[in-house]
Chains A and B, each alone.
Chain A
């Protein structure tokens, strides 16, 4: 492969934002025109269309491609435009300024690595000037220049410029954003766009074009601790490849990795690639890679690989700043899908702390809903523990989106970990798993031998609901089918393992659940399907079930709740049985669920997920 001299050495995505009509599209057109970057005949063509429609020529028409945009003279959706200058290829995204199209502005800005924020010198700082400035910071766009446009309309006066600079810097200062530059320009007349203005000799700083050149490509994310969210696991051939994008740091052949939140560990055997000779030995931030491991551990999309010294946070809850774009307002208590990096999980908004007024950041208001285009501080609670980071430390794993029905309806950044009641047990499990001494036989080897994976079938409910009867029936059925199953009875633990405890201590459901969970953890490590009931915990079954889940994590827990009359089941219950139970039907349902969860091979849903192949 011979290398030819490439003109472009890197790419940079830039977004242009600001209040409607402050001149974003004009600036873009002018930038292209003044650097000779437009195709032949493009200006003439647009001029002809304008003449035909009896309108004055506008540079903005060069990129406002939709008929409707030209008729209304506004940008509806972002356009990606391409521009090469001094060895760099830019994709410049012209974002709409109209508040109705905020979701389009945000989509444009979210992929940007640098931004130009326009303010009309005559109109001054407006509502969207502030909102966009605040959102840039929320979206993680830290490199930006403020462009004070239409200086021709204020006689190119420095005092007007200084006034806007002062006001806007003060606003930005409230959330610690600092622009690279503040540039006075006239986009329409081409002052300080590509060429230095003759009209504003008082301004000594760079032109817009120069300031683009001074923007830096990603600031050293490769030097951070490793984060690699698992995107998918492939088994197209003999290789079992874990695919993902390295979002921070580096992954190297021979590295020992920890996957969170499952706490599984393995060493990187190879980094796979197609049409690359020899194979790479390292992947760094920004790259999409595929790795193989020295051991067949079961990892899934959504887990985050890191090194053991610098783990991501794990919890079911966090506090965040969120902007909402949904058609329907965001409501406290309503279910949404949370997506953090590659993890997709149900969540609810546990609290709306305040709505942030982007016009005046000091003002706050309480509310039960967050309306479209509002920014708010929330606490989000996920159905299962999620690995994430604070956005101040890690960009990609510190942000998330919320999906309402079919649409991405909001996005946000994680500001704080919220401690949940499982924290201590989770830490116990983590430490125990890291130090766990393993034999030669791995989990996958056992699964191969047994023809199924380990799991816990957990039957919850009040007294006399038929839990023990059902548990025994499932055990018998699984064993009859040739599976390795075992009924773990709480009473047996009481008389043996817990014999050292006083009567009072035995009344403490938390410690009893911990002991029970650790025994269950041992049993599932042997590859068994453990059937258990929450009988020993009496009415504290909900808390006990939660503790057991945390301690056996990430082994699948199939939760069944039984009651005589309909009642609320503990969170994450899979099968609810209320009223008189048809035990054969219940057993059938449970076997189905075991198949669906990949514990018993077969029937894995519509699409083969290769990691389940046993």
Chain B
């Protein structure tokens, strides 16, 4: 338990720093386990309130149950929801058969960039974790993006103790990553400890499969698993040696480094 509280304290501190320093702040919420934990941590940090909007970049290919869950939770918790979509790309027929990296770039990266530009957000809070894949392991808690939303991983700013990069030139923005130190197991342990409502696609409903990571329907495949509860998931994770995102297609080859350099989450 203590290790979860230590993680919680650090994330809460980061969220409060973000809220203090950014006038136009928003949090990305994909309805997955990580960003839902992040949302919960925001309620912790601000004593039951979420004082900034939640962004969902809708690719139109999300699993329908995710959208239902999104709207229900937003209503119940009184969230300010902002949904963005790259309508042009969709109208032009963008889908994963045109190449996964191409599709992700158009619908997610560019969808997000459009939203940031439209609304003028200067700080975006995201639920990425360092243990997900290699380039995320090298992220800072406060990570600057240039005018084009690009990440210069060769020259990241220093981050010392509890002091973060909170000042930045006009036109650029900062990505804030309060969950960097959390592992996949920590996320589930915390969901369990706090009894956080999560989407049931993560559980096996008798077919011997469940989702371990949620993305777009065409590019995310369920894994073989009979985990029917959070306890089952935690147990399963303790004994697995398969990478979490092995069900996510865009991670293949150098896909993620290229995507993230250009501003993917």
Interface code B1-34, partner A: CB below 8 Å = 1, 0 otherwise? 1111111010011001101100100000000000
Interface code B252-263, partner A: CB below 8 Å = 1, 0 otherwise? 001001000000
> Which residue in B47, B159, B181, B186 is a CB contact (below 8 Å) of A234?
B47
How many Å lie between the Cα of A354 and that of B38 in the bound state? 46
Interface code B198-241, partner A: CB below 8 Å = 1, 0 otherwise? 00000000000000000000000000000000010010001001
Q: How far is the CB of A508 from chain B (nearest CB, A)?
A: 44
Q: In the complex, given contacts A80-B180, A110-B160, what are 11 additional A-B residue pairs having Cβ atoms less than 8 angstroms apart?
A: A4-B234, A7-B238, A65-B137, A67-B257, A107-B156, A107-B160, A110-B161, A236-B49, A275-B44, A288-B9, A411-B161
How many Å lie between the Cα of A396 and that of B13 in the bound state? 14
How many Å lie between the Cα of A406 and that of B167 in the bound state? 5
> Which residue in B1, B17, B131, B169 is a CB contact (below 8 Å) of A406?
B169
Tell me the residues in window 434-454 of chain A with beta carbons closer than 8 Å to chain B beta carbons: none
Q: Does A274 lie at the interface of the complex (its beta carbon under 8 Å from any beta carbon of B)?
A: yes
Tell me the residues in window 225-247 of chain A with beta carbons closer than 8 Å to chain B beta carbons: 231-232, 234, 236-237, 239, 241, 243, 245
Q: How far is the CB of A253 from chain B (nearest CB, A)?
A: 16
Assess the A290–B163 pair: CB atoms within 8 A. no
For the complex of A and B, 6 pairs with smallest distance between CB atoms: A65-B134, A80-B130, A79-B137, A236-B49, A103-B158, A39-B243
Q: Does A178 lie at the interface of the complex (its beta carbon under 8 Å from any beta carbon of B)?
A: no
How many Å lie between the Cα of A79 and that of B17 in the bound state? 23
Tell me the residues in window 126-172 of chain B with beta carbons closer than 8 Å to chain A beta carbons: 130-131, 133-135, 137-138, 140, 153-154, 156-163, 165, 167-169
> Which residue in B46, B156, B185 is a CB contact (below 8 Å) of A104?
B156
Q: Does B91 lie at the interface of the complex (its beta carbon under 8 Å from any beta carbon of A)?
A: no
Q: Does A76 lie at the interface of the complex (its beta carbon under 8 Å from any beta carbon of B)?
A: yes
Q: Does A3 lie at the interface of the complex (its beta carbon under 8 Å from any beta carbon of B)?
A: yes
Assess the B3–A231 pair: CB atoms within 8 A. no
Assess the A243–B16 pair: CB atoms within 8 A. yes
Assess the A272–B47 pair: CB atoms within 8 A. yes
Q: Does A286 lie at the interface of the complex (its beta carbon under 8 Å from any beta carbon of B)?
A: yes
Q: Does B100 lie at the interface of the complex (its beta carbon under 8 Å from any beta carbon of A)?
A: no
25 contacts between A and B (CB under 8 A): A1-B193, A3-B1, A9-B2, A39-B241, A39-B243, A42-B243, A65-B134, A66-B138, A77-B153, A77-B154, A80-B181, A89-B183, A104-B156, A106-B160, A107-B160, A237-B48, A275-B44, A288-B13, A288-B45, A403-B167, A406-B165, A408-B160, A409-B158, A411-B158, A606-B23
How many Å lie between the Cα of A567 and that of B16 in the bound state? 42
Interface size on B, residues (CB 8 A): 63
Q: How far is the CB of B128 from chain A (nearest CB, A)?
A: 11
- List of B residues within 8 angstroms of A6 by Cβ: 1, 3-4, 189
Tell me whether A396 and B16 are in contact in the complex, defined as CB-CB below 8 angstroms, given that A66-B135, A274-B44, A286-B9 are known contacts.
Answer: no
> Which residue in B134, B159, B194 is a CB contact (below 8 Å) of A107?
B159
Closest to B44 in A: A274
Q: How far is the CB of A391 from chain B (nearest CB, A)?
A: 11
Assess the B46–A234 pair: CB atoms within 8 A. yes
How many Å lie between the Cα of A236 and that of B78 in the bound state? 13
- List of A residues within 8 angstroms of B138 by Cβ: 65-66, 77-80
